Amino acid sequence: MTEKKTLILLILGLVLILSGCQGQEPHKSTEGATGGSKKMAESHMPKKPEYIYGTVKETMNGGGYTYMLLEFDGKESWVAVPQMKVAVGDEVMLYPGNVMTNFHSKSLNKTFDTIIFSQGPVDKPSGHGAGEDSSSMSAQAHSGAPKIAKSDIKIEPATGKNAITIAEAYKRAKELDGKKVVLKAVVMKVSKNILGKNWLHCQDGTGTEAEKNYDITVTTKALPAVGDVVLIKGTLHKDKDIGAGYFYPVIIEDAEVTVLKNKKK
């Protein structure tokens, strides 16, 4: 009888030991699931933009870094890179970097609400010494260009298949998303060679500033001058996000741009 009790106790002990080992598996499984969830979450995180780009509006050196206030399409951002030579008016293209908020530079005694720390210009070697030369991609695109008041713009609309006005581009953006369009407009601003394209701001006299449907951005390989009347044939895109905070409710991309009338001398 004693031997039978001993055997039963041994069996119960073995069962408890095995149960205890099995009880550890959910912990391991949970760790695996957590890791998988993290990877899944990371895969859905927004990707960093390929480049940071814009026109230098302000610059200063301190602590081995060059600080630049960049402007692109009306948006301004502070960026810091290993010290390099750059001047106000230069158009630069930089590698993406880490965003820091409320960053205080001791050397400048200045606090930046938001600043991006980039490794340097795309067209120069990265790291220290990357900026011994200027990273300017081109001279200012619209130097000496005529200023045209919106009230002076009177453009005969394009005709034929796919012809629209700028106001129509905004109104019919959902319908025209991804489709070819044709329009005539005046070039109001040109930014050269950004991401391998020229960026135009165009107006045709339609739309209003209040409704923000009077000006459209066009990307093209062509290089018309500010003030030129042009025929634009390209693909319209709605709600285009190109990264770095640059978002376009409507944009015409990869357009063929033909000059119909040169700017006034």
The rounded distance, in Å, linking the Cα atoms of 105 and 13 is 65
Residue 203 is predicted with a pLDDT of 94
The rounded distance, in Å, linking the Cα atoms of 31 and 34 is 5
Tokens of 67: 């600080």
Beta-strand ranges (E) seen in the chain are: 52-62, 65-72, 75-82, 91-94, 97-105, 110-118, 180-194, 197-203, 215-220, 229-241, 247-261
Residues 6+ apart with CB under 8 A from 117: 79, 80, 81, 97, 98, 100
Residues 6+ apart with CB under 8 A from 36: none
Q: Would you say 195 and 234 are in contact if contact means Cβ atoms under 8 Å apart?
A: no
Give the domains, in start order, of the chain with CATH numbers.
52-118 (2.40.50), 150-261 (2.40.50.140)
The rounded distance, in Å, linking the Cα atoms of 79 and 98 is 10
Residue 246 is predicted with a pLDDT of 72
Identify which of 49, 53, 97 has the alpha carbon closest to the alpha carbon of residue 197. Answer: 53
Which residue numbers in the chain have pLDDT < 50? 7-8, 10-12, 14-49, 124-147
For residue 142, the SS3 value is coil
Q: Would you say 176 and 165 are in contact if contact means Cβ atoms under 8 Å apart?
A: no
The rounded distance, in Å, linking the Cα atoms of 180 and 169 is 11
Residue 191 is predicted with a pLDDT of 84
